[in-house]
């Protein structure tokens, strides 16, 4: 509310500048002719400041980071229940995703996430997929992609949720946060089958290569959907992180999907 009040006051200032410009121009031209040097200079100067105020007005209406205005922002993890295509937005398909959300305070509720999904990410959208989300306490059913000050908090809660539900183990999580970068190739793969909706657990035996030329055997456990599994198999190598004091397990970064179209 305060933001719109400030915007309204700025608009009033712009209107006052324009009205004063018209008045000065009229007085000056009546005294010295149709266009005088003085009247043009004054009109240009006032128009310039009016433009600055107008841009400030628009910026206050459309802030670049809405999250910094949230005093009741919360984070959670949403599980996709259903989704539907709702047309194009800036050339990208926009989807309305119905989710069941677990908030950081333990509350469980249903919410809606409206978000553009590009061709590269579209195959990964499926029922049962979990995503970090943010929302306002007074409007919990309207979900947003984590952004601004809430982004890091949302990722931390997402990792905690995955750890608690058995989607990741502590050693893998530690390697992901604190590990050193390396590359790996898959030597062997074993599957536990579908352990979560749409997700298969794979156990990978890896040969890991460090930036300084060393090599060591290790393992990794990853959860992938059918599309991610296919991308994993197509990759020439995997980006990993490892802890020098715990080389038996590494964190694997699932490769990005190739561009489509």
Q: Percentages helix, strand, coil for the chain, rounded to the nearest 5?
A: 35, 40, 25
pLDDT score of 261: 41
Residue 2 confidence (pLDDT) above 80:
no
Residue 148 confidence (pLDDT) above 70:
yes
pLDDT score of 181: 97
Residue 112 vs residues 98, 141, 157: alpha-carbon distances, Å: 5, 6, 19
- pLDDT tens digits for range 22-78: 555 555 555 554 445 555 555 555 555 555 555 555 554 444 456 666 778 999 999
Burial readout 241-250 (b: 16 or more C-beta within 10 A, e: otherwise): bbbeeeeebb
Judged by average pLDDT, the poorest of 14-23, 149-158, 212-221 is: 14-23
- pLDDT tens digits for range 93-119: 899 999 999 999 999 999 999 999 887
**Dihedrals phi, psi of 70, to nearest 5 degrees:** -80, 120
Burial class (CB in 10 A: 0-12, 13-18, 19+), 77: buried
Judged by average pLDDT, the poorest of 15-29, 133-147, 175-189, 229-243 is: 15-29
pLDDT score of 54: 54
Tell me the β-bridge partners of 218.
206
Helix ranges (DSSP H) in the chain: 2-32, 37-61, 150-164, 170-178, 226-234
Residues 6+ apart with CB under 8 A from 198: 126, 127, 128, 129, 225, 226
Residue 212 confidence (pLDDT) above 80:
yes
More confident residue, 64 or 203: 203
Show the tokens assigned to 223: 């959860």
Q: Number of helices and strands (H, E) in the chain?
A: 5, 10
**Dihedrals phi, psi of 106, to nearest 5 degrees:** 95, -10
């Amino acid at each position: 509310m305060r933001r719109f009040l400030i915007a309204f006051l700025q608009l009033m200032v712009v209107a006052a500048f324009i009205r004063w410009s018209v008045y000065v121009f009229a007085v000056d031209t009546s005294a010295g002719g149709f266009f005088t040097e003085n009247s043009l200079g004054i009109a240009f100067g006032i128009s310039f400041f009016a433009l600055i105020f107008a841009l400030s007005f628009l910026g206050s209406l459309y802030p670049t980071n809405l999250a910094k205005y949230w005093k009741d922002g919360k984070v959670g993890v949403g599980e996709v229940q259903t989704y539907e295509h709702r047309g194009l937005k800036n050339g990208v398909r926009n989807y309305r995703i119905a989710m069941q959300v677990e908030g950081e305070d333990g509350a469980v509720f249903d919410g809606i996430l409206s978000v553009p999904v590009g061709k590269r990410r579209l195959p990964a959208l499926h029922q049962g997929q979990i995503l970090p989300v943010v929302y306002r306490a007074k409007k919990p059913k309207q979900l947003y992609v984590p952004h601004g000050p809430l982004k890091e908090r949302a990722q931390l809660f997402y990792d905690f949720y995955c750890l608690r539900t058995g989607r990741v183990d502590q050693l893998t999580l530690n390697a992901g946060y604190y590990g050193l970068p390396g590359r790996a190739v898959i030597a062997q793969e074993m599957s536990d089958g579908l352990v979560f909706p749409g997700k298969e657990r794979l156990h990978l035996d890896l040969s890991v290569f460090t930036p300084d030329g060393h090599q060591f055997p290790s393992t990794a456990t990853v959860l992938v959907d059918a599309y991610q599994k296919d991308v994993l198999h197509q990759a020439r190598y995997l980006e990993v992180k490892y802890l020098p004091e715990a080389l038996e397990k590494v964190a694997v970064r699932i490769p990005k999907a190739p561009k489509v179209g």
